[in-house]
Amino acid sequence: MNDTETIVVVGQVYIHEATKDKNILLLTSNSSAGVIGLSTALSIQQHLTPSQSLLLIARDFPSNESVNYASPWAGAHYRPVPGSSAQALREASQARRTYDHLKRVVIDEPGAGVKFVKGVEHLEAPPAEYLDEQSVRNVYTHLDDFRHQTKEELPAGVKWGVEYKTYVINSPVYCAHLLRKFILKGGQKKSYTLTNVNEAFSLGRNVRMVVNCSGLGFDDRKSFIIRGQTCLVRNSVSATITRQNEDGSWSFCIPRPLDGGTIIGGTKQPHEWDPNPSPEIRAKLLSNASKWFPFTPENKGQFDVIRDIVGRRPAREGGMRLELEKLAGGKSLVHAYGAGGRGFEISQGVAEDTVELMLENGLLRAKAAL
């Protein structure tokens, strides 16, 4: 190249329900640097040439709080999801690679806020894919210490149970860790609210590529939010446990590493925009947790609540959009958004797939020139 080139990664962007049919695509306070964007930026950095630079654009960064900034509100843990659809198989591959990546992070980066613990799943009414051995093997057998629990081990009402070694993440710490690594490796960041993805091409020197990790995208009618409510408590628990209730709802507890408390969840409410925590939901979450999860006994069955959490997961019909769009003037737009509630679980896999897409199209070099 004869001139320096900037690659722009766009952080999470949300559109408000009331603006979907208008030209205004996002509110001024509603974009953020989520785990997908941060992971992708770090992966791209490994392939930059000396004439390329990387700029991360977002409205909110780690340490900011917003109901629309989903990543810091996440549990977060890894629970496999069996299935045979193209989306399910793609996410299974991405999740497996993320699992392997985080095993290395725990060893090499102890301050990242990641820890491996025992994971347990108890299902009262297991869907068909959980009863299909091939579907289960596809997503569970790579997990360390994986096994089916015996009938004698299953709690009352539970018809299917497994345990394995999995990771839990202190999500605010992990996001801050990723951003710190990105900056130390020479990345640049800019707080800015985009009104159109094409605007990103004007925010750096000679921008030829924009990577759209914007959560919901900008004008994608397939995108939608999923409201989630959880409760952060000081009570300790040694394992992450997920229980599917007979009515199809889910309960879980996730210990956050580095003394981050425990997340008790949770809800999934598609297209629900209420930002306020529901006292009724909190009461139900804590009631279920007191019955099913092995919290340490010093609190005598009472929960020491730190805060209620409400966040909006950026989802998309058919799963993530991961594709290259060629624009006029030799410019390129790479889309990587719509992870829903699996952002942390598939983050590294998505980052690797995004980089591979860029390599295949000659947008990055196969070997880093750093």
- Residue length of the chain: 370
Across the range 205-227, mean pLDDT stands at 91
pLDDT at 20: 31
Q: What is the pLDDT of residues 320-354, one digit of tens each?
A: 999 999 999 999 999 999 999 999 999 999 999 99
User: How far apart (Å, rounded) are the C-alpha atoms in residues 311 and 70?
Assistant: 5
Average pLDDT value for the chain: 88
pLDDT at 72: 78
Q: Assign 273 a pLDDT band (cuts: 50, 70, 90).
A: very high
With pLDDT > 70 as the criterion, what percentage of the chain qualifies? 91
Residue 125 carries which side chain, given as an amino acid letter?
A: A
Q: Residue 212 above 60 pLDDT?
A: yes
Q: Residue 141 corresponds to which tokens in the numbers above?
A: 């057998």
Q: What is the pLDDT of residues 54-107, one digit of tens each?
A: 999 888 888 777 777 778 778 899 999 999 889 999 999 999 999 999 999 999
Q: Assign 17 a pLDDT band (cuts: 50, 70, 90).
A: very low
Q: Assign 2 a pLDDT band (cuts: 50, 70, 90).
A: low
Residues ≥6 apart with Cβ < 8 Å to 182? 38, 41, 42, 45, 54, 56, 189
pLDDT at 16: 35
Q: What is the pLDDT of residues 110-131, one digit of tens each?
A: 999 999 999 999 999 999 999 9
pLDDT at 1: 47
Whether residue 169 contacts residue 255, with contact meaning beta carbons closer than 8 Å, is answered with: no
Q: Residue 6 CA to chain centroid, in angstroms?
A: 26
Q: Assign 168 a pLDDT band (cuts: 50, 70, 90).
A: very high
Q: What is the pLDDT of residues 182-198, one digit of tens each?
A: 999 999 998 888 888 88
Long-range contact pairs involving 257-260 (C-beta distance under 8 Å, separation at least 24) = 257/113, 257/114, 257/115, 257/168, 257/169, 257/170, 257/173, 258/111, 258/113, 258/170, 258/173, 260/113, 260/170, 260/172, 260/173
Q: Of 10-19, 98-107, 120-129, 241-250, which gets the smallest average pLDDT? A: 10-19
Phi and psi at 203, nearest 5°, equal -100, 5
